[in-house]
Amino acid sequence: MQQNIKKAVIPCAGLGTRFLPATKAMAKEMLPIVDIPTLQYQIKEAIDAGLEEIILIISDAKEEIKKHFSRDENFENYLIEKGKQEEANLIKQLSTMAKITYVVQKEQKGLGHAILCCKEVIKDEPFVVILGDDLIINEKGDNVSKQMIDIYREKHCPIIGCQNVKESEVSKYGIMSLKGKMENRIGYLLDMVEKPKLEEAPSHLACLGRYLLTSDIFKILENTKPGKGGEIQLTDAIKSWCKYQDVIVYDFIGRRYDVGDKYGYVEAVIDFALKRDDMKEKVLNHIKEILSKKE
Ligand code: UTP
């Protein structure tokens, strides 16, 4: 019997070493895209995809995530007294937007280990994994989580979200090879290499920040030895999984920003600011001014 997908797991316990010093005392998932933390976009993606429970994997050190999504009546009342009703509503909404469960990953032993920490909360249900530092926007249709849920309903297989990346980016990702060709954006995983050199990469198809997994993954993760960087890698577990079960590789529709990377973050801030009515003109004028000085 096929089970309904109700849960989203968002891992946010990484050390964020690519974004130091900002991430020394702050989770990279809380870095704001203009004025909204990335993580708020991820939670909205899950809600819009129809998911009912959000499991946030956090580290002991990053309490600000809990604080951001819990109610602060004193601050709300203060804002109301100051005539800032709209702002008060805005911060109240954060505590009611989703049912959030927190799972603490005590030691940062990798993404695979972080997912394993959710075993008791997930039980035997399928679930969506939304990486906390991968922002994916599809303005023209369903968001990436919804796209993957629809495929799961039809195919009943675990799914990895992917896109082709530039040659210069290949060595940053898990790169996949497929059994046969991709059809209608769907292929089946044959093998995967973590962060290969360009000349050793089997393709340019990179594993990018979204997964739809079943609870079978936990048994595999329990038997997965530490891999690259001494971490338990989710990609290593999926690699052994695809030897005996079909794993779908789905070329999702959407623009992806790696906001855990400094350049990816700047791209996201500029693009998002340019989409906002309250900022578009000023930001555009600023860019034009910079460009005119360069000519
Ligand atoms: P990354 O590899 O991008 O996170 O993991 P990182 O280790 O924080 O990154 P850098 O390279 O040091 O900057 C992808 C996602 O998995 C989470 C991260 O928070 C991020 O959202 N993660 C990673 C965990 O939750 N726990 C871990 O042990 C590792």
Per-residue pLDDT of the chain (295 residues; tens, 9 = 90+): 567 899 999 999 999 899 999 988 889 999 999 999 999 999 999 999 999 999 999 998 778 899 999 999 999 999 999 999 999 999 999 988 889 999 999 999 999 999 999 999 999 999 999 998 899 999 989 999 999 999 999 999 999 999 999 999 999 899 999 999 999 999 999 999 888 999 999 999 999 999 999 999 999 999 999 887 889 999 999 999 999 999 999 999 999 999 999 999 999 999 999 999 999 999 999 999 999 887 6
Closest C-alpha to ligand 1, atom 15: 131
Q: ω before 21 within 30° of 0 (cis)?
A: yes
Q: Which domain holds residue 162?
A: 7-260
How many CB atoms are located within 10 Å of the residue 9 CB?
Answer: 27
Would 266 be classed as within a structural domain? no
Q: Which atom of ligand 1 is nearest to the CA of 107?
A: 28
Would 241 be classed as within a structural domain? yes
Residue 2: what pLDDT?
63
Our answer on whether the CB atom of 260 is closer than 6 Å to any ligand 1 atom is yes
Residue 295: what pLDDT?
65
Our answer on whether the CB atom of 111 is closer than 6 Å to any ligand 1 atom is yes
CA–CA gap between residue 255 and residue 268 (Å, rounded): 10
Our answer on whether the CB atom of 132 is closer than 6 Å to any ligand 1 atom is yes
Residue 3: what pLDDT?
74
Q: Give how far the C-alpha of residue 45 lies from the chain's centroid of Cα atoms, to the nearest Å.
A: 10
Q: Which atom of ligand 1 is nearest to the CA of 10?
A: 21
Would 173 be classed as within a structural domain? yes
Distance 18 CA to ligand 1 centre (A): 10
Residue 1: what pLDDT?
55
The number of folded domains in the chain is 1
Distance 17 CA to ligand 1 centre (A): 9
Would 269 be classed as within a structural domain? no
Residue 4: what pLDDT?
84
CA–CA gap between residue 285 and residue 290 (Å, rounded): 9
Distance 133 CA to ligand 1 centre (A): 8
Pocket test of ligand 1: the residue of 10, 117, 133, 228 to mutate, having most ligand atoms within 8 Å of its CB, is 133
Residue 76: what pLDDT?
94
CA–CA gap between residue 154 and residue 173 (Å, rounded): 28
Would 270 be classed as within a structural domain? no
CA–CA gap between residue 263 and residue 218 (Å, rounded): 34
Residue 214: what pLDDT?
96
Q: Which atom of ligand 1 is nearest to the CA of 19?
A: 13
Residue that has been written with the tokens 């991820």 in this structure: 42
Distance 15 CA to ligand 1 centre (A): 6
Would 231 be classed as within a structural domain? yes
Our answer on whether the CB atom of 161 is closer than 6 Å to any ligand 1 atom is no
Closest C-alpha to ligand 1, atom 18: 14
Would 285 be classed as within a structural domain? no
Distance 34 CA to ligand 1 centre (A): 22
Domain of residue 113, CATH code:
3.90.550.10
Our answer on whether the CB atom of 37 is closer than 6 Å to any ligand 1 atom is no
Distance 29 CA to ligand 1 centre (A): 10
Would 278 be classed as within a structural domain? no
Our answer on whether the CB atom of 130 is closer than 6 Å to any ligand 1 atom is no
